[in-house]
Amino acid sequence: MDSVPSSPTAGTTATAQLEQGCTTRRVFDLVADKWMLSILCVLSEGTVRYNALQRAVVGITPKVLTHHLRSLEADGLVTRTVHPVIPPHVDYDLTDLGRSLRQALQPLLAWGESHLDEVERARSGRQR
């Protein structure tokens, strides 16, 4: 069995760092959801109304979008502004903390864009 390299800063294995309840695992659980990343990417463009956000995140249901937005708001990543007009509308925007997360995710997004063709080729090769 191959051993997992130790983290030079934490003094524990990478596997131990991802155990339930640890800080790293909690952060991964926050952003590893496909909808969360899509929502964060849309909001990184600026303030968005709920309906526009739902249209931009293709495939998400209103219930799931609402759940994820509430979670992001509770985690301090998103602000929700209700405008007292008839009919009422709601805007969502990233907080400073949310924008800093987007900056942290940028290398992962860039990797995905530059390696998408390779991943697709690998997937199509397995389906033969």
Tell me, what CATH number does 30's domain have? 1.10.10.10
At residue 82, φ and ψ (nearest 5 deg) are -95, 125
Q: Which domain holds residue 60?
A: 14-126
Confidence of residue 109 (pLDDT cuts 50, 70, 90): confident
Q: Three-class SS of residue 4?
A: coil
Is 2 part of a structural domain of the chain? Answer: no
Residue 111 in any domain: the answer is yes
The span from the CA of 68 to the CA of 77, in Å, is: 11
Q: What percent of the chain stands above pLDDT 70?
A: 80
Q: Which two tokens stand for residue 51?
A: 């309906």
Give me 38's structure tokens. Answer: 């899509």
The reply to whether 87 falls in a domain is yes
Number of domains in the chain: 1
Residues 28-75: pLDDT tens digits? 777 778 899 899 999 999 999 999 999 999 999 999 999 999 999 999
Q: Determine whether 22 is exposed, middle or buried from the number of CB atoms within 10 Å of its CB (0-12, 13-18, 19+).
A: middle
Instruction: State the DSSP code for 82.
Output: E
Helix, strand, coil tally for the chain in percent (to 5): 60, 10, 30
7 occurs within a structural domain: no
Q: Determine, yes or no, domain membership for 1.
A: no
> In 3-state terms, what secondary structure has residue 38?
helix
Q: Which two tokens stand for residue 19?
A: 């155990």
pLDDT at 83: 93
In a domain, 18, yes or no: yes
